[in-house]
Amino acid sequence: MLQYLVIGGALLNLLGAVAYIRDTLQGKTKPNRVTWSLWAAVPMIAVAAAVSDGVTWAIVPVFMSGVNPLLIFSPHL
């Protein structure tokens, strides 16, 4: 049951980034490459460390906090 709450929170987190992603793709905003890449990299390092330590569902919110900036940053690669 708790994993559904974690997944729901992750989806809400993604929903919060959709507007910014849309504006980025339409060219209305231009994210700073360094800032957004660091905001994506740091949680992914934490995810790799946690997964290697055996963490399962608890790492999903941290993963999503790294995926959202990565999605915002990636159209500008």
CA dist 73 and 34 (Å) reads 9
Q: Which residues of 3-15 are buried (b: 16+ CB within 10 A; e: fewer)?
A: eeebeeebeebee
- pTM (whole model) above 0.75: yes
Every domain of the chain and the residues it spans: 2-76
pLDDT tens-digit readout, 1-36: 788 988 898 899 899 889 888 888 888 988 898 999
Of 13, 18, 39, 29, the closest CA to residue 76 belongs to 29
pLDDT tens-digit readout, 31-72: 898 999 999 999 999 999 999 999 988 899 999 999 999 988
